[in-house]
Chains A and B, each alone.
Chain A
C-alpha cells in the first residue's frame, strides 16, 4: 500500500524558489503576524509570493489579511486565490468558522493533502505560517520538503526562548537552514535574547517593540505595514532575505 500523494508534492513546489517556514516554540508570540507581514513585504518588493497557513488548529492569517470568503478555483487541483497580491491557502477555506479538532495523524494527513492538491504558481517565495512547537507538522514538512528554511519568532520571555533553543538545536541537528530569530513584543532594552541567539550560532534578525496599535491594524494592510511589526519585518525582509537572494 502506497500513499500516492507523497510522490507529487515536490512537483507541486517545483516552481517555488525558496520556502520559508515561520515558526515558534510557543504560541502567542506573533508568528502569524510576522509570517503575514513578511509575505506582504516580499510581495511589495516585486517578488511573487505565496502564503500557506499550516497552523490548522489556530489559523489566523486570513483574519490578518482580511481574506474574503471565495469559491476555490479548481484546475487539476486547487488554485490558491489571490489575497492582497499573495497566492494564499488556508484550511479555513474548508472548515469555515468551525473548529478543526485534529490529532497528530490527522494533522499529517491534512498537511499532505493540501500540499499535494494545491497548485502554486511560479513563486519566488512561499512563506509558511507553521503551528507552534516541534510536533507533527514540523517533522512532516522537514520530511516532505527538502529545501525548507526556518525563520523563528520569540518574545523576550525566558519561557518562549527556552522552547526556541530546543527548536534551533533540533533544526541544526537535522542540518536545516535557520535564517534567524526575530524577537517580538520587546518592552525594554535588554539584550538577553540577542546574546542567547548568537550563542546558538544563529543570526539575531532584529527586535520588534511592543506596539499596542497592532490589534487595531488587523485586517488593514496599510495600517499593518505601518506598525512596528510591519516596519521591522520590512527591514528583516530586505536585509536578511532579499539581500541574500540578490547575493546568490
Chain B
C-alpha cells in the first residue's frame, strides 16, 4: 500500500510541474524506481491510474526500474543491492525508508555500514511532457 502514497506524491509533483509549464494536457510522465525501495511497479501503476486528475487522462506513464549501486565509504568497494538477499522483514523496512538499509546491510568486503547509495535509492520523477 506504500505504493499508493508514492503514486499520490508522483501525481502531485507532476501536476505542479505541468501547471508551472502551463500545459493544458499531459501526454507522458516518466518515473524511475530504484531497486532499493522494492516498489511494486504494477501496484504503483494501478494506483496512479486510480488517482490521476483530468489533466493526466491521456497521459502515458513510463515506470522504469533502476538498479541500486552502493559504495563503501571505508574501503571503496562498489556492489549492487540484491533484494532477494534480504529477509522479508528487512525488505519491508527498507521499502518504507530506504535509509534504514544502513541498519541491516554491510559492505561485503570490510563489513562497514558506512556506505553511499550511489544510485537507485527511491522514486524519481524523470520528466513530464505535454501540450501547451
Contacts and interface: CB of A to CB of B under 8 A. Distances in A.
Interface of A: 1-8, 11, 72, 74-78, 91, 94-96, 98-103, 106-107, 109-110, 113-114, 116-117, 119
B97 A91 contact: yes
Given A2-B17, A96-B103, 13 more contacts: A2-B125, A3-B122, A4-B13, A4-B124, A4-B125, A8-B12, A76-B1, A77-B1, A94-B93, A101-B103, A102-B99, A117-B5, A117-B97
B123 interface: yes
B9 A109 contact: no
A114 B9 CA distance: 13
A110 B117 CA distance: 13
Given A1-B125, A2-B125, A7-B13, A109 B98 contact: yes
Nearest to A79: B1
Interface residues on B, range: 20 to 34
27 contacts: A1-B32, A1-B126, A2-B17, A3-B13, A4-B6, A4-B13, A4-B14, A7-B9, A11-B8, A76-B1, A77-B2, A78-B2, A94-B96, A94-B100, A94-B103, A95-B103, A98-B104, A101-B103, A106-B99, A107-B99, A109-B121, A110-B100, A113-B96, A113-B122, A117-B2, A117-B96, A117-B97
A4 to B, nearest CB: 4
A77 B98 CA distance: 15
A94 B113 CA distance: 16
A100 B103 contact: yes
B13 A102 contact: no
Contacts of A78: 2, 5, 96
Nearest to A2: B125
Interface in B37-92: none
Interface string B1-37: 1101110111011101100000000000001100000
Given A4-B9, A5-B9, A77-B1, A99 B103 contact: yes
A113 B5 CA distance: 10
Interface of B: 1-2, 4-6, 8-10, 12-14, 16-17, 31-32, 93, 96-100, 102-104, 113-114, 117, 121-126
Nearest to A56: B99
B99 A76 contact: no
B114 A101 contact: yes
A93 to B, nearest CB: 8
A11 B12 contact: yes
A127 B14 CA distance: 31
A113 B6 contact: no
A78 B96 CA distance: 9
